[in-house]
Amino acid sequence: MSFDLNFIGILIGAIMASSVPLILAASGELITERSGVLNLGVEGMMIIGAISGFALMVVTDNLFFAVIGSMFSGLIISLIFGLLTQSLLTNHVATGLALTIFGIGMSAMIGKNFVGIPGKEFPLLFLSLKESIPFLGPIFFGHSIILYFAFGLPFLTNYFLKKTKTGLIIRAVGDSPTSASNQGINVTLVRYSCILYGGAMCGLAGAYLSLIYTPQWIENMTGGRGWIALALVVFATWSPIKVLIGALIFGGITILQLHMQAVGLRIPVQLLSALPYIMTIIVLVVISRDSRKIKLNTPTSLGQIFYKEK
Amino acid sequence: MYKLFLRSLISVLFLLGFSLNANAEFKVGFVYVGPTGDHGWTYQHDEGRKAVEAAGIKTTYVESVPEGADAERVIRQLAQSGHDLIFTTSFGYMDPTNKVAKDFPNVKFEHATGYKRDHSNVSTYSARFYEGRTLLGHMAGKMTKTNTIGYIASFPIPEVIRGINAMTLAAQKVNPDIKTKIVWVFTWYDPGKESEAAQALIDQGADIIMQHTDSTAPVQVAEKAGVWSFGQASDMQRFAPKSILTSIIDDWAPYYVERSIAARDGTWKQQDTWHGLKEGMVAMAPYNSAMGGDLVKEVEQLQKDLASGKAHSFTGPIYDQKGNILVAEGAVADDGMLAGMNVYVKGVEGDIPQ
């Protein structure tokens, strides 16, 4: 394994790129869950975002429309979830699972005509800086705009939840919808908004995969990343910053284990393949040991159906 | 899952339709493991089905059928709904195919890549993809500057190991210094993971990338990184026009047409088919002229020799990693050994995951 500094920089850059879909989807889901809604449809919303982004790119030849459109389609599909769970009061878990199954099937159907079409080059920013500065260049420069957005998002989310009034309202709704409702907060409206926001972020995460990371459409191309994002939210104990850390560890070990295989280290390959999952859980459990903080962050009404008596 | 439900529903409707129509015409059914648009394995099988259709025989297909209990139900429905010949195109359909075949002695079954023929109405067939790998190895050995070949492997089954070995042996023949680096991804397709694997191999010095996975992601990474690559299962040239030297193409069409006609005319007999370059079941996409006319000529000659039997992918002496002899000097590996291959040859780095 070569150990020069620039190579390590490139490696870190690659790790950052691979964790973007996890950060986006998990940050979106985090807001949804903080409002007390458990949406297990992350994978389904991501895959819908992936196909809509790619299809729009092919049809309109415009990456801006593709990205916006993918967020919009994630939002639309999460609206279905919202209608079912918030207006028709169906079970969150069952509805979320159905959403994932629906998303995978639906994307495959839409995607029929888009298989095998090469993607378009997505513009990367500051490419010249990436090459001219050793080590730090490949870490900080030469990424897509979505990556920069994704890395800012957990901090924005943290600020939003802790310091703004809207954030407080969301947390109140998640902790005790009845009290919030008695305070005059429209619980259903707040939850709808959080569901739609989560859907849009998952759509964007999907589009990152089909437009930037592996620019093409293939059935099931999210490959379970939605489920990992869901698990990240829980293991990060609903803290946006820990979501970011978790996503980086997961992405980092995934890539490092491939490098270890390529180098030919004599470690069982199955162990290496399992390493990202094991390490992410261990690290997040260790950094989230403070049970008082966990209690503070956990939305108490998560997954419970709220029904306002008239 | 809802797709599956829809398909089951459609299949049931078919069943009803055809039970009313007892004297239906000759029909061939296909069961696919993936979507017809995967641009790899299933795509090529569906091209074969289209050829059967073009030969004037009616066909039906069911795609994305999981290997397991669902497979048996789908195969059974096809058999019940008046299909006279059924192709089941994935290794995992082996037991379901034989089970259904027992209950439908008048229906013919063809199972791809398996070895069980429990009943006289079951045939098996596969392609000698490893012959294509030999050609790739020859090109890789000649084209590499870093003497490092990166190989993205899916699952540790004989077919994949055979490919790694065939490639390594051929590359060693033209360049004794080459090393084969392998990354196991434990998936047939996950574009994200495949491209990360390709990138890891390139970062570790590989300037040739080949894959035994189905997505086009690795060749795209290779194109971007400016290293050489090879396409898998179908011609992937348009995804990486500069990087791809050639692709191994699975061509099932002639076999499907021949077997369908035989079944229709009553001349179908049970058999085990393992066809390669000679019969055209394994074909090569056009060679990239970037490798130079001399090398193209060499490879074309080798392709002819493999097809005619003058050359064999596994000609002795072949040693395993520890230096034990596997195939004696002058001998060639027999089909039994090839079918069960589970050790690396000398020159491959690492261990096979157990």
Residue range B247-305, pLDDT digits in tens: 999 999 999 999 999 999 999 999 999 999 999 999 999 999 999 999 999 999 999 99
Tokens 């090459």, located at residue: A131
What does the pLDDT read at residue B115? 85
Is pLDDT of B12 > 70?
A: no
Taking CA atoms, B243 is separated from A53, A117, B220, in Å, by: 27, 17, 8
**Cα A214 to the center of its chain, rounded Å:** 16
Is pLDDT of A251 > 60?
A: yes
Q: Which of B65-74, B124-133, B272-281, B323-332 has the lowest mean pLDDT?
A: B65-74
Average pLDDT score over chain A: 90
Between CA B139 and CA A66 the distance in angstroms is: 40
Report pLDDT digits (tens) over A144-154: 999 999 999 99
Q: Which residues of B touch A221 (CB under 8 A)?
A: 190-192
At the fourth CATH level, the homologous superfamily of domain B2-127 is: Response regulator (3.40.50.2300)
Is pLDDT of A240 > 60?
A: yes
Q: Is A308 within 8 Å of chain B by CB?
A: no
Domains of chain B, by residue range, sit at 2-127, 131-250+286-339
What is the pLDDT confidence band of residue B348, given thresholds at 50, 70 and 90? Answer: confident
| CATH hierarchy code of domain B131-250+286-339 | 3.40.50.2300
| Angle subtended at Cα A118 by Cα A115 and Cα A124, rounded to the nearest 5 degrees | 130
Do residues B279 and B130 touch, judged by C-beta distance below 8 A? Answer: no
Q: Could you say which of A218, A225, A258 has the minimum Cβ distance to residue B183?
A: A258
Q: Is A15 within 8 Å of chain B by CB?
A: no
Report the residue of chain A nearest B350, measured CA to CA.
A264
Q: How far is A94 from chain B (nearest CA, A)?
A: 14
Record the pTM.
0.80
Report pLDDT digits (tens) over A167-224: 999 999 999 999 999 999 999 999 999 999 999 999 999 999 999 998 888 888 888 8
Q: Enter the tokens of residue B135.
A: 């050609």
Is pLDDT of B213 > 90?
A: no
Domains of chain A, by residue range, sit at 5-223
Put simply, the chain A residues between 244 and 263 with a CB less than 8 A from any chain B CB are 254-255, 258-259, 261-263
Q: Is A225 within 8 Å of chain B by CB?
A: yes
In the chain, the amino acid numbered B347 is G
Q: Is A8 within 8 Å of chain B by CB?
A: no
Q: Which residues of A touch B351 (CB under 8 A)?
A: 266, 269
What does the pLDDT read at residue A2? 47
Tokens 């979830």, located at residue: A81
> What is the widest separation between alpha-carbon atoms in chain B?
67
Percentage, residues of chain A above pLDDT 70: 98
Between CA A204 and CA A28 the distance in angstroms is: 10
Do residues B320 and B343 touch, judged by C-beta distance below 8 A? Answer: yes
What does the pLDDT read at residue A145? 94
What does the pLDDT read at residue B11? 58
Q: Positive or negative CA dihedral for A172, A177, A179, A182?
A: positive
Report pLDDT digits (tens) over B134-152: 999 999 999 999 999 999 9
Report the residue of chain A nearest B189, measured CA to CA.
A221
What does the pLDDT read at residue A285? 82
Q: In this structure, what are the phi and psi dihedrals at residue B211, rounded to the nearest 5 degrees?
A: -140, 145
